[in-house]
Amino acid sequence: MVKPSRSEVLTEPRERTMRVSRLNAHESRMAYLFVSPAMLLFFIFALLPAVAALLLSFTNYDILNPPQWTGLVNYARILQDQVFQQTLGNILYYVVLYIPFMITLSLLVALALNRKMPGMKFFRTIYYLPVISSPVAASTVWMWLFNQNYGVINQILSLFGINGPNWLFDVNSAMVAIVIVTIWQGLGGNMIIYLAGLQGIPEYLYEAATLDGANKWQMFRYIIWPSLRTTTFFVTTTSFIGAFQLFDQAYVMTQGGPGNSTLTPVYNIYNNGFEQLQMGYASAQAFTLFVIIIIVSMINLRVNREQNLV
């Protein structure tokens, strides 16, 4: 048997390392090749328009004439715009109503549909169907349901001796009606997310809790809810972002009324940009809303981190 020389012993690991390096480089090139179409589309249809809108926010632009540089005039105007401030108050009121009910109902439905019983897949599909429905079509149907005179909701309330309100034309109930519609349409999506979180909890935790004599409430408090903190953070963050971007339901059902009580920031931006042709000011409002969403998301992230540390 011929013993390999020292040079051969040192050359073999070096060649193996070079082969691994070439393989990694090839995999990296292929990864960039597959990702590049999506990144190119993102650059063209998302990043470039966002940069253009940011530049427009410092101009006076009405589409018909060339943009005129105005600096921070549009942002200074936002501080004095009572309508925009009212829209922020409206959306804050909407968030206070929407987020707790959305989180609670999504989790309760997910818990109910996570049981191993016949027909669970059917009910999961039924609950998810509103998610894929058109917001405009769904809002149109709900307008009929909320009708004061012949709407189904008020007719049901009348069976219990309750005189239903004029839902979409009353300042006190218009936003509540929109909250009901958006919860109905978004419940299925968050339910699926919670279902995924529930099915990711190890079975041995339930078995250990059962052996220790834990009841259902104790299992939920000490096993399910702590295990779903990350899921709840994700659902809460996406719900916050979706709430601040509310437009379709307010546009179709109430047109921002009555008395601007359901006028949202995005709806206001739409009015300024496409109806009044104040593209520069609308862009400034859009980036102000973007900063607000970032701040709210960071606060939510901070609160979630503190809860995980407890």
pLDDT digits over 20-64, tens only? Answer: 677 777 777 888 888 889 889 989 988 898 899 899 999 999 888
Are residues 29 and 89 both part of a single domain? no
- In a shared domain, residues 146 and 40: no
Residue 160 domain flag: yes
Predicted pLDDT of residue 211: 87
Three-state SS at 169: helix
pLDDT of residue 248: 92
69 assigned to some structural domain? no
Among 174-178, 216-220, 289-293, 305-309, the range scoring the smallest mean pLDDT is 305-309
> Which tokens is 87 given?
């829209």
Would residue 250 be called left, alpha or beta, if left means φ above 0 and alpha means ψ between -120 and 50 degrees? alpha
Confidence (pLDDT) at 10:
47
In the structure, how many helices (H) and strands (E) does the chain have?
15, 2
Asked if residue 82 and residue 52 are part of one domain, the reply reads: no
Kindly state whether residues 44 and 99 are assigned to the same domain.
no
pLDDT the model gives residue 271:
94
* pLDDT category of residue 308 using cuts at 50, 70 and 90: low
Do 180 and 294 lie in one domain? The reply is yes
pLDDT of 16 > 90? The answer is no
Model confidence band, residue 11 (pLDDT cutoffs 50, 70, 90): low
Which amino acid is it at 306? E
Position 168 in a domain: yes
Distance CA 106, CA 193 (A): 9
Determine the average pLDDT of the residues in 204-229.
89
Has residue 111 got a pLDDT over 80?
Answer: yes
Confidence of residue 75 (pLDDT cuts 50, 70, 90): very high
User: 256 in the Ramachandran plot: left (φ > 0), alpha (ψ -120 to 50) or beta?
Assistant: left
Q: Is the pLDDT of residue 204 over 50?
A: yes
> What is the C-alpha to C-alpha distance for residues 231 and 222, in angstroms, rounded to an integer?
16
pLDDT digits 0-9 by tens, 151-169: 899 999 998 888 889 999 9
Instruction: Kindly report the CATH number assigned to the domain that includes residue 203.
Output: 1.10.3720.10
Query: Is residue 188 domain-shared with residue 231, that is, in the same domain?
Result: yes
Inside any domain, residue 244? yes
User: What mean pLDDT is predicted for residues 196-206?
Assistant: 90
CA dihedral 216, 217, 218, 224 (to 10 degrees): 80
Distance in angstroms (rounded) separating the CA atoms of residues 310 and 302:
13
62 to each of 7, 142, 160, 240, 274, how far by Cα in Å? Answer: 75, 36, 54, 31, 9
Whether 299 is covered by a domain: the verdict is yes
Residues 87, 68: Cα–Cα separation, whole Å: 27
Q: Is the pLDDT confidence value at 285 over 80?
A: yes
Task: Look at residue 195 and tell me if it is in a domain.
Answer: yes
Which residues constitute the domain of residue 21?
Answer: 6-56
28 and 96 in one domain?
A: no
The percent of residues in the chain predicted with pLDDT above 70, rounded, is 92
Question: Does residue 99 contact residue 236 with C-beta atoms inside 8 Å?
Answer: yes
pLDDT at residue 284, as a whole number: 95
309 pLDDT above the threshold of 70:
no
For residue 149, what pLDDT is reported? Answer: 86
48 with 147, same domain: the answer is no
Asked if residue 189 and residue 144 are part of one domain, the reply reads yes
Q: What's the pLDDT score for residue 14?
A: 64
CB atoms within 10 A of CB 2: 4
Amino acid at site 150: Y
Residues 36 and 152 in one domain: no
Residue 130 shares a structural domain with residue 219: yes
Q: What is d(CA 56, CA 74) in angstroms, rounded to the nearest whole number?
A: 10
Residue showing tokens 């101009």: 59
Q: What is the mean pLDDT of residues 103-107?
A: 95
For the record, the structure tokens of 7 come out as 């040079």
68 falls within a domain: no
Q: Is residue 12 a part of any domain in this protein?
A: yes
Q: In sequence order, what DSSP letters do the residues of 1-65 get, joined into one string?
A: -PPPPHHHHHHHHHHHHHHHHHHHHHHHHHHHHHHHHHHHHHIIIIIHHHHHHHHHTTEE--SSS
Q: Average pLDDT in the 124-133 region?
A: 91
Model's pTM, two decimal places?
Answer: 0.85
pLDDT at 9: 47
Contact status, residue 194 vs residue 235, Cβ threshold 8 Å: yes
pLDDT higher than 60, residue 2 = no
Quote the number of domains for the chain. Answer: 2
Q: Note whether 196 and 150 are same-domain residues.
A: yes
Q: What integer best gives the mean pLDDT of the chain?
A: 88
